Structure 1
Amino acid sequence: MSMLGKPFVVTDGASGIGLAIVRKLVQIFQDLGAKEGKVWFYPSVDVIKRKDVTKAFNSIAERTPKLHGLVNCAGIVRQHPATVENDAIFKQVLDINLGGTWNVTTEFMRVVNAEDATAKKPDTSIVNIGSTSSYRGFPFIPGYVASKHAVLGLTTPMKF
Protein backbone atom coordinates (compact mmCIF):
# COMPACT_ATOMS: atom_id res chain seq x y z
CA MET A 1 0.00 0.00 0.00
CA SER A 2 1.43 3.36 -1.02
CA MET A 3 1.64 6.26 1.40
CA LEU A 4 1.76 8.78 -1.43
CA GLY A 5 -0.75 11.55 -0.93
CA LYS A 6 -1.95 10.23 2.42
CA PRO A 7 -1.93 12.91 5.13
CA PHE A 8 -0.50 12.28 8.56
CA VAL A 9 -0.82 14.25 11.78
CA VAL A 10 2.22 14.32 14.07
CA THR A 11 1.98 15.96 17.49
CA ASP A 12 5.05 17.81 18.72
CA GLY A 13 6.40 17.65 15.18
CA ALA A 14 8.64 20.68 15.70
CA SER A 15 11.11 19.01 18.06
CA GLY A 16 12.61 15.74 19.21
CA ILE A 17 11.07 12.46 18.08
CA GLY A 18 8.15 14.26 16.45
CA LEU A 19 10.47 16.33 14.24
CA ALA A 20 12.43 13.21 13.26
CA ILE A 21 9.17 11.51 12.26
CA VAL A 22 8.05 14.52 10.21
CA ARG A 23 11.40 14.57 8.41
CA LYS A 24 11.18 10.83 7.70
CA LEU A 25 7.63 11.14 6.35
CA VAL A 26 8.73 13.97 4.05
CA GLN A 27 11.65 11.83 2.84
CA ILE A 28 9.35 8.84 2.21
CA PHE A 29 6.95 10.97 0.19
CA GLN A 30 9.84 12.39 -1.85
CA ASP A 31 11.23 8.90 -2.45
CA LEU A 32 7.78 7.81 -3.67
CA GLY A 33 7.87 10.57 -6.25
CA ALA A 34 5.71 13.22 -4.69
CA LYS A 35 6.39 16.35 -6.67
CA GLU A 36 4.62 18.57 -4.25
CA GLY A 37 3.35 18.20 -0.77
CA LYS A 38 1.93 20.29 1.97
CA VAL A 39 3.00 20.48 5.56
CA TRP A 40 0.90 22.35 8.10
CA PHE A 41 2.05 23.23 11.55
CA TYR A 42 -0.14 24.11 14.51
CA PRO A 43 2.52 25.22 16.99
CA SER A 44 0.07 26.73 19.44
CA VAL A 45 -2.09 23.65 19.99
CA ASP A 46 -2.21 22.73 23.65
CA VAL A 47 -2.99 19.01 23.59
CA ILE A 48 -4.52 19.09 27.07
CA LYS A 49 -7.15 21.59 25.94
CA ARG A 50 -9.87 19.69 24.07
CA LYS A 51 -11.18 22.93 22.52
CA ASP A 52 -7.76 23.70 20.96
CA VAL A 53 -7.37 20.14 19.67
CA THR A 54 -10.89 20.16 18.19
CA LYS A 55 -10.21 23.50 16.47
CA ALA A 56 -6.95 22.17 14.97
CA PHE A 57 -8.62 19.01 13.66
CA ASN A 58 -11.52 20.99 12.20
CA SER A 59 -8.97 23.12 10.36
CA ILE A 60 -7.10 20.02 9.15
CA ALA A 61 -10.37 18.44 7.96
CA GLU A 62 -11.10 21.55 5.88
CA ARG A 63 -7.73 21.24 4.12
CA THR A 64 -7.52 17.53 3.42
CA PRO A 65 -10.08 15.08 2.11
CA LYS A 66 -8.96 12.13 4.25
CA LEU A 67 -6.56 11.58 7.10
CA HIS A 68 -4.43 8.45 6.96
CA GLY A 69 -2.31 8.43 10.09
CA LEU A 70 -1.61 9.90 13.49
CA VAL A 71 1.59 9.87 15.50
CA ASN A 72 1.23 11.06 19.10
CA CYS A 73 4.64 12.38 20.18
CA ALA A 74 3.68 15.20 22.53
CA GLY A 75 5.02 14.49 25.98
CA ILE A 76 7.14 15.73 28.86
CA VAL A 77 9.24 14.27 31.63
CA ARG A 78 10.00 15.91 34.96
CA GLN A 79 12.79 14.31 36.94
CA HIS A 80 12.21 14.19 40.70
CA PRO A 81 12.42 11.52 43.37
CA ALA A 82 8.98 10.04 44.06
CA THR A 83 9.09 11.49 47.54
CA VAL A 84 9.69 14.99 46.14
CA GLU A 85 7.44 15.07 43.08
CA ASN A 86 4.55 17.27 44.01
CA ASP A 87 0.95 16.91 42.89
CA ALA A 88 1.19 19.72 40.33
CA ILE A 89 4.17 18.14 38.52
CA PHE A 90 2.58 14.68 38.61
CA LYS A 91 -0.70 16.02 37.22
CA GLN A 92 1.02 18.07 34.50
CA VAL A 93 2.93 15.04 33.23
CA LEU A 94 -0.22 12.87 33.21
CA ASP A 95 -2.31 15.62 31.59
CA ILE A 96 0.12 16.07 28.69
CA ASN A 97 1.37 12.52 28.17
CA LEU A 98 -1.92 10.66 28.72
CA GLY A 99 -4.64 13.31 28.47
CA GLY A 100 -3.06 14.84 25.37
CA THR A 101 -2.81 11.43 23.71
CA TRP A 102 -6.48 10.80 24.52
CA ASN A 103 -7.63 14.21 23.26
CA VAL A 104 -5.69 14.03 20.00
CA THR A 105 -6.60 10.40 19.30
CA THR A 106 -10.31 10.86 19.91
CA GLU A 107 -10.44 14.03 17.78
CA PHE A 108 -8.50 12.25 15.02
CA MET A 109 -11.02 9.39 15.12
CA ARG A 110 -13.93 11.84 15.13
CA VAL A 111 -12.64 13.36 11.89
CA VAL A 112 -11.78 9.98 10.33
CA ASN A 113 -15.19 8.53 11.16
CA ALA A 114 -16.92 11.61 9.74
CA GLU A 115 -14.93 11.24 6.51
CA ASP A 116 -16.33 7.79 5.80
CA ALA A 117 -19.22 6.88 8.05
CA THR A 118 -19.89 3.74 5.96
CA ALA A 119 -16.48 2.15 6.58
CA LYS A 120 -16.52 -0.69 9.08
CA LYS A 121 -12.87 -0.15 9.87
CA PRO A 122 -11.14 3.09 8.85
CA ASP A 123 -8.01 2.78 6.69
CA THR A 124 -5.87 4.61 9.22
CA SER A 125 -2.95 4.06 11.53
CA ILE A 126 -2.33 5.48 14.99
CA VAL A 127 1.07 5.36 16.64
CA ASN A 128 1.33 6.38 20.27
CA ILE A 129 4.92 6.99 21.33
CA GLY A 130 5.82 5.20 24.53
CA SER A 131 9.19 4.31 25.96
CA THR A 132 10.80 1.59 28.00
CA SER A 133 8.90 3.29 30.82
CA SER A 134 5.75 1.83 29.28
CA TYR A 135 6.95 -1.57 30.50
CA ARG A 136 9.09 -0.94 33.57
CA GLY A 137 9.64 1.64 36.25
CA PHE A 138 12.61 3.95 36.66
CA PRO A 139 13.64 6.05 39.63
CA PHE A 140 13.12 9.81 39.77
CA ILE A 141 10.38 9.94 37.09
CA PRO A 142 7.25 8.46 38.69
CA GLY A 143 4.79 10.68 36.80
CA TYR A 144 6.43 9.87 33.47
CA VAL A 145 6.47 6.13 34.19
CA ALA A 146 2.81 6.18 35.26
CA SER A 147 1.83 8.16 32.16
CA LYS A 148 3.68 5.87 29.74
CA HIS A 149 2.21 2.76 31.40
CA ALA A 150 -1.20 4.39 30.91
CA VAL A 151 -0.51 5.26 27.25
CA LEU A 152 0.28 1.59 26.64
CA GLY A 153 -2.96 0.66 28.39
CA LEU A 154 -4.85 3.14 26.23
CA THR A 155 -3.21 1.91 23.03
CA THR A 156 -3.72 -1.83 23.52
CA PRO A 157 -7.52 -1.87 23.05
CA MET A 158 -7.18 0.35 19.96
CA LYS A 159 -5.45 -2.47 18.05
CA PHE A 160 -8.73 -4.17 17.29
Structure 2
Amino acid sequence: MKNPMSMQGQTVLVTGAGQGVGAAVSELIVELGGNVVLLDVKEDELRALADRLGSEKATAYVGSVTDPAFVEATVRQAAEKYGAITGLVNNAGIIRTAMIEKMSKEYWDQVIDVNLTGVYLCLQTVGRHMLERIKDGDTAPAAIVNVSSVAGRRGAVGQINYAAAKSGVLGMTMAAAKEWGRHGIRVNSACFGVVSTEMTEVVRSEKFRDAYMKQIVLQRFSDPEEVAKSVVFMLSDAASYITGQHISIDGGLHIGF
Protein backbone atom coordinates (compact mmCIF):
# COMPACT_ATOMS: atom_id res chain seq x y z
CA MET A 1 0.00 0.00 0.00
CA LYS A 2 1.25 3.46 -0.88
CA ASN A 3 1.91 5.68 2.11
CA PRO A 4 -1.08 8.08 2.14
CA MET A 5 1.14 10.71 3.75
CA SER A 6 3.67 10.57 0.91
CA MET A 7 4.59 13.93 -0.60
CA GLN A 8 6.40 12.38 -3.55
CA GLY A 9 6.12 14.59 -6.62
CA GLN A 10 4.56 17.47 -4.70
CA THR A 11 5.89 21.01 -4.30
CA VAL A 12 4.70 23.07 -1.34
CA LEU A 13 5.25 26.76 -0.71
CA VAL A 14 5.81 27.41 3.02
CA THR A 15 5.77 30.93 4.43
CA GLY A 16 7.54 31.80 7.65
CA ALA A 17 9.81 28.86 6.85
CA GLY A 18 12.98 30.13 8.49
CA GLN A 19 12.32 28.68 11.93
CA GLY A 20 9.78 27.02 14.22
CA VAL A 21 6.73 25.40 12.67
CA GLY A 22 7.56 26.55 9.14
CA ALA A 23 10.99 24.92 9.25
CA ALA A 24 9.61 21.72 10.79
CA VAL A 25 6.87 21.46 8.15
CA SER A 26 9.41 22.03 5.37
CA GLU A 27 11.75 19.36 6.73
CA LEU A 28 8.94 16.81 7.00
CA ILE A 29 7.70 17.48 3.46
CA VAL A 30 11.18 16.82 2.08
CA GLU A 31 11.57 13.73 4.28
CA LEU A 32 8.33 12.41 2.74
CA GLY A 33 9.61 12.96 -0.79
CA GLY A 34 8.37 16.45 -1.65
CA ASN A 35 9.93 19.76 -2.66
CA VAL A 36 9.60 23.02 -0.73
CA VAL A 37 9.57 26.67 -1.70
CA LEU A 38 10.75 28.55 1.38
CA LEU A 39 9.63 32.12 2.15
CA ASP A 40 10.74 34.30 5.04
CA VAL A 41 12.17 37.72 5.84
CA LYS A 42 14.94 36.11 7.91
CA GLU A 43 17.61 35.49 5.30
CA ASP A 44 20.24 33.70 7.37
CA GLU A 45 17.83 31.16 8.85
CA LEU A 46 16.11 30.60 5.52
CA ARG A 47 19.28 29.98 3.54
CA ALA A 48 20.65 27.69 6.26
CA LEU A 49 17.49 25.58 6.04
CA ALA A 50 17.64 25.47 2.24
CA ASP A 51 21.26 24.32 2.44
CA ARG A 52 20.35 21.52 4.85
CA LEU A 53 17.52 20.32 2.65
CA GLY A 54 19.48 20.54 -0.61
CA SER A 55 19.14 22.74 -3.68
CA GLU A 56 17.17 20.12 -5.65
CA LYS A 57 14.51 19.83 -2.96
CA ALA A 58 14.36 23.35 -1.54
CA THR A 59 14.53 26.89 -2.89
CA ALA A 60 14.73 29.98 -0.66
CA TYR A 61 13.05 33.31 -1.43
CA VAL A 62 13.75 36.16 0.98
CA GLY A 63 10.98 38.71 1.30
CA SER A 64 7.69 39.66 2.95
CA VAL A 65 4.30 38.05 2.42
CA THR A 66 2.85 41.58 2.60
CA ASP A 67 4.54 42.48 -0.71
CA PRO A 68 2.25 41.44 -3.60
CA ALA A 69 5.00 41.80 -6.22
CA PHE A 70 7.35 39.58 -4.23
CA VAL A 71 4.69 36.91 -3.71
CA GLU A 72 3.73 36.90 -7.40
CA ALA A 73 7.35 36.69 -8.55
CA THR A 74 8.09 33.87 -6.11
CA VAL A 75 5.13 31.77 -7.25
CA ARG A 76 6.00 32.33 -10.90
CA GLN A 77 9.66 31.43 -10.48
CA ALA A 78 8.93 28.40 -8.29
CA ALA A 79 6.37 27.09 -10.78
CA GLU A 80 8.92 27.45 -13.57
CA LYS A 81 11.50 25.47 -11.57
CA TYR A 82 9.28 22.68 -10.25
CA GLY A 83 6.55 22.58 -12.90
CA ALA A 84 3.67 23.16 -10.48
CA ILE A 85 2.96 24.23 -6.94
CA THR A 86 0.65 21.66 -5.37
CA GLY A 87 0.46 23.00 -1.83
CA LEU A 88 0.66 26.10 0.34
CA VAL A 89 1.26 26.44 4.06
CA ASN A 90 0.35 29.99 5.11
CA ASN A 91 2.42 30.04 8.27
CA ALA A 92 4.11 33.47 8.46
CA GLY A 93 3.05 35.40 11.53
CA ILE A 94 4.11 37.99 14.10
CA ILE A 95 2.84 39.23 17.46
CA ARG A 96 2.72 42.75 18.90
CA THR A 97 1.21 42.72 22.37
CA ALA A 98 -0.70 45.41 24.26
CA MET A 99 -3.97 45.67 26.11
CA ILE A 100 -6.83 47.03 23.99
CA GLU A 101 -6.82 50.51 25.49
CA LYS A 102 -3.07 50.77 24.91
CA MET A 103 -2.87 49.12 21.48
CA SER A 104 -1.30 51.48 18.94
CA LYS A 105 -2.49 51.74 15.35
CA GLU A 106 1.03 50.72 14.33
CA TYR A 107 0.85 47.47 16.30
CA TRP A 108 -2.62 46.77 14.92
CA ASP A 109 -1.55 47.36 11.33
CA GLN A 110 1.66 45.31 11.59
CA VAL A 111 -0.13 42.18 12.81
CA ILE A 112 -3.09 42.50 10.44
CA ASP A 113 -0.74 43.08 7.49
CA VAL A 114 1.28 39.90 8.09
CA ASN A 115 -1.20 37.54 9.75
CA LEU A 116 -4.26 38.35 7.66
CA THR A 117 -3.42 40.32 4.52
CA GLY A 118 -0.27 38.27 3.96
CA VAL A 119 -2.29 35.06 4.21
CA TYR A 120 -4.77 36.46 1.69
CA LEU A 121 -2.09 37.50 -0.80
CA CYS A 122 -0.37 34.11 -0.72
CA LEU A 123 -3.66 32.21 -0.87
CA GLN A 124 -4.87 34.31 -3.80
CA THR A 125 -1.63 34.06 -5.77
CA VAL A 126 -1.09 30.33 -5.26
CA GLY A 127 -4.81 29.74 -5.81
CA ARG A 128 -4.65 31.49 -9.19
CA HIS A 129 -1.71 29.27 -10.19
CA MET A 130 -3.61 26.15 -9.10
CA LEU A 131 -6.73 27.19 -11.01
CA GLU A 132 -4.76 27.85 -14.17
CA ARG A 133 -3.02 24.49 -14.18
CA ILE A 134 -6.19 22.59 -13.27
CA LYS A 135 -8.09 24.28 -16.09
CA ASP A 136 -5.24 23.25 -18.40
CA GLY A 137 -5.88 19.64 -17.46
CA ASP A 138 -3.20 19.19 -14.78
CA THR A 139 -4.36 16.51 -12.32
CA ALA A 140 -1.72 17.15 -9.63
CA PRO A 141 -3.11 17.67 -6.10
CA ALA A 142 -4.00 21.12 -4.77
CA ALA A 143 -4.17 21.77 -1.03
CA ILE A 144 -3.81 24.85 1.15
CA VAL A 145 -3.32 25.01 4.91
CA ASN A 146 -3.79 28.39 6.60
CA VAL A 147 -2.28 28.60 10.06
CA SER A 148 -4.75 30.05 12.54
CA SER A 149 -4.76 29.73 16.32
CA VAL A 150 -6.89 28.94 19.33
CA ALA A 151 -6.78 32.75 19.76
CA GLY A 152 -8.97 33.05 16.66
CA ARG A 153 -11.66 31.04 18.41
CA ARG A 154 -11.32 32.17 22.03
CA GLY A 155 -9.68 35.57 21.84
CA ALA A 156 -6.44 36.42 23.61
CA VAL A 157 -5.67 38.87 26.39
CA GLY A 158 -3.24 41.52 25.21
CA GLN A 159 -3.50 40.38 21.59
CA ILE A 160 -6.70 41.77 20.10
CA ASN A 161 -4.83 42.33 16.82
CA TYR A 162 -3.59 38.73 16.67
CA ALA A 163 -6.97 37.28 17.69
CA ALA A 164 -8.76 39.35 15.05
CA ALA A 165 -6.32 38.27 12.35
CA LYS A 166 -6.50 34.59 13.26
CA SER A 167 -10.30 34.70 13.41
CA GLY A 168 -10.25 36.28 9.96
CA VAL A 169 -8.12 33.41 8.70
CA LEU A 170 -10.90 30.99 9.66
CA GLY A 171 -13.41 32.91 7.55
CA MET A 172 -10.95 33.14 4.67
CA THR A 173 -10.41 29.39 4.80
CA MET A 174 -14.12 28.60 4.57
CA ALA A 175 -14.71 31.11 1.77
CA ALA A 176 -11.83 29.74 -0.32
CA ALA A 177 -12.92 26.14 0.33
CA LYS A 178 -16.42 26.95 -0.95
CA GLU A 179 -15.22 28.83 -4.04
CA TRP A 180 -12.52 26.39 -5.10
CA GLY A 181 -13.91 23.04 -4.00
CA ARG A 182 -15.46 22.35 -7.42
CA HIS A 183 -11.96 22.61 -8.90
CA GLY A 184 -10.55 20.09 -6.44
CA ILE A 185 -8.62 22.64 -4.37
CA ARG A 186 -8.84 21.84 -0.67
CA VAL A 187 -8.43 24.60 1.94
CA ASN A 188 -8.19 23.98 5.68
CA SER A 189 -6.95 25.74 8.81
CA ALA A 190 -4.51 24.52 11.44
CA CYS A 191 -5.44 26.01 14.82
CA PHE A 192 -2.42 25.84 17.10
CA GLY A 193 -2.35 26.21 20.85
CA VAL A 194 0.98 26.77 22.59
CA VAL A 195 3.85 25.53 20.43
CA SER A 196 7.36 25.87 21.83
CA THR A 197 8.69 28.56 19.49
CA GLU A 198 10.18 32.03 19.82
CA MET A 199 6.69 33.58 19.51
CA THR A 200 5.41 31.82 22.64
CA GLU A 201 8.33 32.50 24.98
CA VAL A 202 6.25 34.88 27.12
CA VAL A 203 3.29 32.49 27.37
CA ARG A 204 5.63 29.68 28.40
CA SER A 205 7.46 31.81 30.96
CA GLU A 206 7.15 31.21 34.70
CA LYS A 207 4.65 34.07 35.00
CA PHE A 208 2.04 32.54 32.68
CA ARG A 209 2.99 28.87 32.31
CA ASP A 210 0.79 27.42 35.04
CA ALA A 211 -2.29 29.37 33.98
CA TYR A 212 -2.07 28.01 30.44
CA MET A 213 -1.12 24.49 31.50
CA LYS A 214 -4.28 24.25 33.62
CA GLN A 215 -6.34 24.72 30.44
CA ILE A 216 -4.48 22.21 28.26
CA VAL A 217 -6.11 18.79 28.45
CA LEU A 218 -2.90 16.94 27.55
CA GLN A 219 -1.03 18.95 30.21
CA ARG A 220 1.96 19.86 28.05
CA PHE A 221 3.07 22.25 25.34
CA SER A 222 3.79 20.94 21.86
CA ASP A 223 6.88 21.39 19.72
CA PRO A 224 7.15 22.31 16.02
CA GLU A 225 7.96 18.77 14.91
CA GLU A 226 4.82 17.42 16.59
CA VAL A 227 2.36 19.88 15.03
CA ALA A 228 4.08 19.67 11.63
CA LYS A 229 2.74 16.13 11.23
CA SER A 230 -0.86 17.34 11.33
CA VAL A 231 -0.14 20.16 8.87
CA VAL A 232 1.43 17.76 6.37
CA PHE A 233 -1.49 15.37 6.88
CA MET A 234 -3.83 18.10 5.64
CA LEU A 235 -1.66 18.58 2.56
CA SER A 236 -1.46 14.87 1.80
CA ASP A 237 -3.74 12.39 0.10
CA ALA A 238 -4.65 11.07 3.55
CA ALA A 239 -6.90 14.17 3.87
CA SER A 240 -8.28 14.03 0.32
CA TYR A 241 -11.91 14.44 1.46
CA ILE A 242 -11.30 17.14 4.07
CA THR A 243 -11.88 20.80 3.22
CA GLY A 244 -13.18 23.95 4.90
CA GLN A 245 -12.22 22.61 8.32
CA HIS A 246 -10.42 24.12 11.29
CA ILE A 247 -8.27 21.37 12.78
CA SER A 248 -7.34 22.13 16.39
CA ILE A 249 -3.77 21.05 17.11
CA ASP A 250 -3.66 22.35 20.66
CA GLY A 251 -3.69 19.49 23.14
CA GLY A 252 -7.31 20.30 24.00
CA LEU A 253 -6.70 23.97 24.88
CA HIS A 254 -9.78 25.08 22.94
CA ILE A 255 -12.05 23.00 25.16
CA GLY A 256 -10.11 23.67 28.36
CA PHE A 257 -11.18 22.45 31.79
TM-score (norm 1): 0.88
SS in 1 for 2:99: coil
The structure number with the bigger radius of gyration is 2
Q: Which has the higher strand share?
A: 2
Q: Does residue 14 of structure 2 align to residue 10 of structure 1?
A: yes
2:148–2:166 contact (8 Å) kept in structure 1:
yes
SS in 2 for 1:42: strand
1: CA distance, partners of 2:110 / 2:59: 27
Out of 51, 61, 84, the position equivalent to 1:42 is 61
Q: In the TM superposition, what is the alpha-carbon distance from 1:122 to its structure 2 partner?
A: 7.2
Q: Does residue 83 of structure 2 align to residue 79 of structure 1?
A: no
Gaps of 5+ in 1: 31-35
Q: In the TM superposition, what is the alpha-carbon distance from 1:116 to its structure 2 partner?
A: 2.9
2:133 aligned partner, one-letter code:
E
2: CA distance, partners of 1:124 / 1:59: 18
Q: Percent identity?
A: 28
Matched residues, number: 154
Question: Larger relative contact order (C-alpha < 8 A, sep ≥ 6)?
Answer: 1
Find the counterpart in structure 2 of residue 26 from structure 1.
30
2: CA distance, partners of 1:94 / 1:119: 36
2:121 aligned partner, one-letter code:
N
* Bigger mean CA deviation after superposition, 107-116 or 90-99: 107-116
Change (3 A) 1:121 1:89: farther
Out of 112, 125, 131, the position equivalent to 2:130 is 112
2:30–2:57 contact (8 Å) kept in structure 1:
no
* Bigger mean CA deviation after superposition, 110-119 or 82-91: 110-119
SS in 2 for 1:10: strand
Change (3 A) 1:131 1:121: farther
Note the aligned Cα RMSD (angstroms): 2.1
Gaps of 5+ in 2: 35-54, 179-257
